Every structure is written in C-alpha cells, then in structure tokens.
Amino acid sequence: MTLPRAILFDLDGTLVDTAPDLAGAMNHVLAAHGRPPLPVDDVRHLVGHGARALVTRGLAATGDPAPHLVEPSMPLFLQHYAANIANGSRPFDGVEPALDALAAAGCALAICTNKPTHLAQALIEALGWQGRFAAIVGASSVPRPKPDAGHVFATLDAIAQPGSAAAFVGDSATDVGAARNAGLPVVLVSFGFTDTPAHELGGDVVIDHYDALLPALRGLKPWALLP
C-alpha cells in the first residue's frame, strides 16, 4: 500500500499544541477589558475557526459576549500573539519523525490552517520547520476559510501536484468539513482542539499518536485525485 502524494495538515491542535500561547493572547485581551483569565484547557476548546472567532468565544465565556468589543480587541490579540508565538507552543509527540518519514517517501506536504498566513509562517519559522512544507495557506490567503472547499483547493494548487492522490490530517469538525467538501479523505488526531471527541467527528481514521499516521494514510482508499 502506498501513501498519498499530497498531504494537507491543519496546524493548531494537529501538528502543534499552540494552546498556551493562544491562551496568553486571549487572556491579554480579557485583562484589558477587566475580565478574568481563562485556563489553557478552556482555550483548547475555543480554537479552530480563526482569531476573531476565538476572541468572540473568549469574551462570551467570561460574561457579557460584548460583540462591540470584538473588533477593537483584534489588534490586542494579534500583536500579543505575534510577539509570543512560540513561548509555550510545542509539536505534538512524534510529529517530526512522521513528517521526516513522509518527506522521505516523496510526499508533498502543506499546511491548510484558519490561522492568518503570516502568523502560521511565523510559527513554522520559530519551530525551525522552514523547508518542511511546500505551502502554508492560512485564512488570510483565501476568500473563505475552512470548512470551505476553496481553502483546500487553494492549498492543493499551491503545492502543484496535478494528478496526485491527496489526503487531509486534522483535529476538528472544521477540518472534516473542509476535507469532505473538497472530496478528500481525512485522518483525525484524538488529542486536538475540539469539544466533540474525535471519534464522533466522522473522519476516516482517528490516531492517538503520530506513530500511527503513516499506516493510517496507507489505509485510506479510495483517495481523491487532484484535477
């Protein structure tokens, strides 16, 4: 059994545990509004739809949703996060060996994330992952982010693998929706950022550790073919 030639990864909660630094930025915003901080584990369940959604959910989780505060809070959140993007963020166990194995097998790897592209690129650089991915396509690079299929297709276009089989690796309902909308099979990690258990999200395979990623990808049949 062979591997898909193109593999798209979500970033936050899939490749990297970014919750500590996202919580730091969220709590910076909450402190500015006189709100109590949120525990890191609470923030894990608020991530997945981009920074604006995280700020909106963080405000709602600490009292008055105050929708009028969301836009003024965005610069506070983004500036703090950019300045502290890898203070506590770390790759999940086994990620780097899995990426090395996929690269050695000739797979084209890309990131498809609802994080703004410049922040995704900054995180990749801070982790020393330059050159691991053929493309990094964040929400700011597409008209409509995941779960819109266009985000997936834009990422596939960016890695230029026509005629290749592709698959998606993620952690949330947003990722499952994006993969399904684009006609791709999806592998889910069980340790990501989601309120709903991964086994209930409708993925093709759920893995508990990155040691299981390559066997899971080899077992995906049939794969979608890129145009």
Out of 10, 12, 21, 148, pick the active-site residue: 10
Mode of pairing for the β-strands spanning 205-207 and 186-189: parallel
- Angle of helix 173-182 versus helix 149-159 axis, rounded to 10: 70
Q: Let me know how long the chain is.
A: 227
Closest C-alpha among 5, 179, 184 to residue 108: 5
Is 157 catalytic? The answer is no
CB-CB contact of 6 with 159 (8 Å): yes
CB environment 113-150: b (16+ within 10 A), e (fewer): bbbbbebbbbbbeebebeebbbbbbbbebbeebbbbbe
Q: Which residues are catalytic?
A: 10
